[in-house]
Each structure stands twice: as C-alpha cells, then as structure tokens.
Amino acid sequence: MRYWLWVAILCACGDNATQKSVIDAAIDGPPGDGALAACTPSRGTSLQWKFVAPTVGPAMIVVSPPALAASHTIDPRIFVVEQQGRIKQVGDHSLSAPFLDLSNLISCCGEQGLLGLAFDPHYASNGRFYVFYTTDTKNILARYSVDPDDPNRADPDSAQILLSIDDFATNHNGGMLEFGPDGYLYITTGDGGGGGDPHLNGQNKHTLLGKMLRIDVSGDNGYLIPPTNPYANGVDGAPEVFHYGLRNAWRWAFDKLTGDLWIGDVGQAAYEELDLIPAGTAGGLNFGWSLYEGNHCYNNGNGNGSCSPAGVRLPGFEATHSDGWCAVIGGDVYRGQCFPDLAGTYFFTDYCKAQLHTATKTGDTFTTAVPDISYVEGDMTHVGSPPGAASIHAAANGELYLTTTTCCGSSGTGGIYRLDAGP
C-alpha cells in the first residue's frame, strides 16, 4: 500500500480522555458480541459489522492490526497482528497480553511493521507459526514456536529467520502469509517501493520482490523448494517464485473449501485490481505489473518489454481512483457456520472508499456487487462500513473479521469487527 496508508495510526486526534470515553462506549456494547461468542445459525443476508475490540496499548499508545489469523482448527482462539510488533489474543471486547512481542526487532510504521502471521497446519502438534516483518533494509520471514509450558505465550528465543529479502524503500512490503491447500507456505512481497517500480522488480523473475512465493517449511530447519514451483531449478527465475508481476498484493486468501485463490493487488495511481486464480492452477502466472496497472499499459519499454496482453493474467475486477478507490483491501470467502446464506461469498473493500463489495464465483469467473451494510459500536449503529479498513480475514472457524486503522471516533485507534448477517 502507499506510504500514507498508515498515517492515521500515527496521529491521534483529541486528548486521551476523549479517546478513552469513546472506546469505552464501543466496548460497552450488548453482551456476547465479542469475538469468541458462540452462535446460533441465522438465515439472511442483511449484513452488519459488530464491534469486537479496540487495539489500544498501555497509556493509550496506539497500535493497529494489519491482519487476523487463527491457529489450528481445533483451537478456538483468534489472534490479532498489531503493526507495531505485537500479536495478541482477541477476547470478548478485550485483547490479551502479547502472545509475542517483536517491537524491538522491527521498523515501524508507515507501511512497515509486523505485517503477516500464519499458523502451521500442524500447529496443534508442533506449535509452529510464521511471521513477516520489516527492518530498516529488509523484509523478514521468521518461524517461531509456542512456549512449551504456556500455550498463551510464544517462545521469543525460538526464532528462525527463513527469508531475509533486501529492500530499498519503506513502502510496498506485501507481507501476507497463508498456507495453501497443498500444505506449502505462500508469501507475497511488494515491488520494493518507491513509485512506478523503479527497479522493474515486478517483471524480473529472478528477484523475490513483487512476487508470490511458495516454500516448503515442513522440515525442522530452513525450507525446501517445492519441486512443482515453476523455476525450481533456479534457471529461468528464483526457485521460491510461484507467481510474479504483483505490485503490492497486500491481502489475499485461499477459499478454505475450494482452494481458489483471491488476490487484491494495490495499484499505483489510477487502478485497483482483484484476481481470481482457480484451484489447481500451475505456478508461473504473470499479473502484469509494472508493464500493466490493472488492465492498462503502464511501464511500457524502458527495459520492461512491450505492452502486450500475451502471457499476462489481467484482473477480473478493476476499480478506479477517480471513483474514490486508493488501495484495495482483500478479502476472504465466508465459510463459517453462523450465517449459511453467506457461504461461498467473497468480501473485499478499499482503504479510502470504505465500501464493502462482494464477489460470487461462477465457473472460473466472478461477478461483484455492493451490498447494504451497517456497523455497530456500542449502542450506535452507523450506515456503511467502518473507515480505514486494513484487512478482511477469516478465523479458523470461517467467520470473517475486519481490522481497521480508525475506530470509535478516533483516527488514532484501530478496531476489530466481526461480520454478522440476519433477515
């Protein structure tokens, strides 16, 4: 995303007393509206974001949650990633003490910080999880383990750095992590930053920037290259590269039922895009950046090749900045049990537009729509979606959660919301 995407979390408006009263009012919502409340399945598609918790640190030090993730499916806990370096458990209108605190290792903020979290598919038995964060000059993928004596704390001394990717600017860092249906770990990286892909990383298959990477982390140390990676031998591209031509695929997700891959790739100055890759598609797709921005020629020539759609995977959905978009926020498919009429619906939004969109797949294509929605903070109901969206992501149980950089009347506090539906 752009440098200014995280400005809101750095600039608290008003004094702390005012922030606290607004946040308390939001927390004092109806009982049972927290993240872990049990549900009775409800029919209907009338949508509402229900407030779960603010992300506020000690002494009102403001933090913000780029993503939500959950551990193994038999574990009901939900975790929130805070950009300033902490991972916490989400309870009913509350956050725990840090599960892991990496604030002394990372560079923050702007578009930097702790950006991604994924729990190993075998977390219940091996206790491993993976994080993606930035330093002054690098993007880091690291593996950690839970404390063997305390399931509510990670062991900070268990760190293994798996990837250390040199980076030349503070913006466009990607950072999303997720395990695919094949059991491999997928990672997206931004093009390195600046503006307009100055190093032409997007189309350079030999660099790890501007890519979707895929690695095998099943071993005890380091990682292996899956033999079906398109450049596994390292001749025509870096072995870790699975897809290329991405500018800053900030948030993406696998459909937990079908294995389809949905990618929201943040555009440069004019277009935002959404891509759908059907399950089983081989690696080596070229999403076009920076030869293309969305469906449009962008960086033609200058060592980047000629602008031709041949071999380029053009987006299935495009939105324009002239219509108020600035940074597409993916996005996940609803596969929960609480609201069966939402099953199979993909939800996504935009940081500036703050308008919820849905996508429904038919065959290998999809159609989009703009549903009516409201959001609730405390006893106040607001039309539309909360401002400052940073992520929409499913917990292990398939329920969807929205994280924001703005919450509760303050541009300096992040929020967590759960998607509800009814008649």
Between 206 and 34, residue with greater pLDDT = 206
8 has a pLDDT exceeding 50: no
The pair of three-digit structure tokens given for residue 275, joined into one six-digit string:
């891509």
Q: How far apart are alpha carbons 321 and 307 in whole angstroms?
A: 22
With a cut of 50, say whether residue 10 has pLDDT above it.
no
pLDDT band (50, 70, 90) for residue 243 = very high
Query: CATH assignment of 3-422, given 3.50.50.60, 3.40.630.40, 3.40.50.410, 2.120.10.30?
Result: 2.120.10.30
Least confident range from 279-288, 349-358, 379-388: namely: 379-388
The whole-number pLDDT of residue 45 equals: 96
Span 160-191, pLDDT tens digits: 999 999 999 999 999 999 999 999 999 999 99
295-329 residue pLDDT tens = 999 998 878 888 999 999 999 999 999 999 999 99
Where do the structural domains in the chain lie, given as residue ranges? 3-422
Q: What is the length of the chain?
A: 423
Confidence of residue 230 (pLDDT cuts 50, 70, 90): very high
In the predicted model, is pLDDT for residue 16 greater than 70? no
| Per-residue pLDDT, 406 | 82
Higher-pLDDT residue of 7 and 405 is: 405
3-state secondary structure the chain: CCHHHHHHHCCCCCCHHHHHHHHHHHHCCCCCCCCCCCCCCCCCCEEEEEEEEEEECHHHCECCCCEEEECCCCCCCEEEEECCCEEEEEECCEECCCCEECCCCCCCCCCCCEEEEEECCCHHHHCEEEEEEECCCEEEEEEEEEECCEEEEEEEEEEEEEEEEECCCCCCCCCCEEECCCCCEEEECCCCCCCCCCCCCCCCCCCCCCEEEEEECCCCCCCECCCCCCCCCCCCCCCCEEEECCCCCCEEEECCCCCCEEEEECCCCCEEEEEEECCCCCCCCECCCCCEECCEECCCCCCCCCCCCCCCCCCCEEEEHHHCCCCEEEEEECCCCCCHHHCCCEEEEECCCCCCEEEEEECCEEEEECCCEEEEECCEEEECCCCCEEEEEECCCCCEEEEECCECCECCCEEEEEEEEEC
The share of the chain scoring above pLDDT 70, in percent, equals 86
* 399-419 confidence digits (pLDDT tens): 999 998 888 777 667 888 999
Percent of the chain with pLDDT over 90: 71
- Comparing 91 with 157, the larger pLDDT belongs to 157
Out of 27-36, 139-148, 155-164, pick the least confident: 27-36
Q: What is the pLDDT of residue 291?
A: 96
- For residues 43-66, average pLDDT: 66
- Tens-digit pLDDT profile for residues 118-140: 999 999 899 999 999 999 999 99
The answer to whether residue 63 scores a pLDDT higher than 60 is no
Given this model, what pLDDT does residue 13 score? 31
Average model confidence (pLDDT) across the chain? 87
Tens of pLDDT along 343-372?
A: 999 999 999 999 999 999 999 899 999 999
Q: Is the pLDDT of residue 235 over 90?
A: yes
- 52 pLDDT band (50/70/90 cuts)? confident
Distance from C-alpha of 115 to C-alpha of 80, rounded to nearest angstrom:
11
What value does the mean pLDDT take over residues 218-236?
A: 97
Residue 36 has a pLDDT of: 54
Q: For residues 273 and 294, what is the distance between their CA atoms, to the nearest angstrom?
A: 6
360 contacts 345 by C-beta, under 8 angstroms: yes
Question: For residue 35, what pLDDT is reported?
Answer: 55
